[in-house]
Amino acid sequence: MSREQYIKRLIKEKGCTIKDFAQEIGMPYSTLLSMLNGSIGGAAIDNAIKICRGLGITIGDLQQHVKNYDEDDHFEITEAERRLITQYRLHPDMQEAVHKLLDFDPGNG
């Protein structure tokens, strides 16, 4: 599980949507969503701290999670897959159709 997935899981366990959590910690929803769908590793430290405080964890907890990250769960994606993901993110209006086509439940990830 990546850091982003870990944070998404903690937000869900807290009983919040990502949008609700963003509001709770005083962060624009688009900023939080971008961090969680991209890479929290490249985020401004102030934003990472806001997220951790909102979840009741420390940056150290998040770093420890990274140390415990199971490399077997990580895999490389091809350039074509990267472009496909980019297109998916650029077209939120089409995401529901993609989910239906692939019989994919985004709530399980």
User: In CATH, which superfamily holds the domain spanning 3-72?
Assistant: lambda repressor-like DNA-binding domains (1.10.260.40)
Q: Domain map of the chain by residue range? A: 3-72, 75-104
Q: What is the pLDDT of residue 72?
A: 47
What number of CA atoms fall less than 13 Å from residue 14's CA on the CB side?
22
Residue closest to 32 by CA, chosen among 42, 22, 24, 20: 22
Q: What is the pTM of this model?
A: 0.58
Q: What is the pLDDT of residue 25?
A: 96
Q: What is the pLDDT along the chain (109 residues), one digit of tens a residue?
A: 678 888 998 999 999 999 999 999 999 999 999 889 877 777 788 888 999 999 999 888 877 776 555 444 555 667 788 788 888 889 889 999 999 998 888 885 5
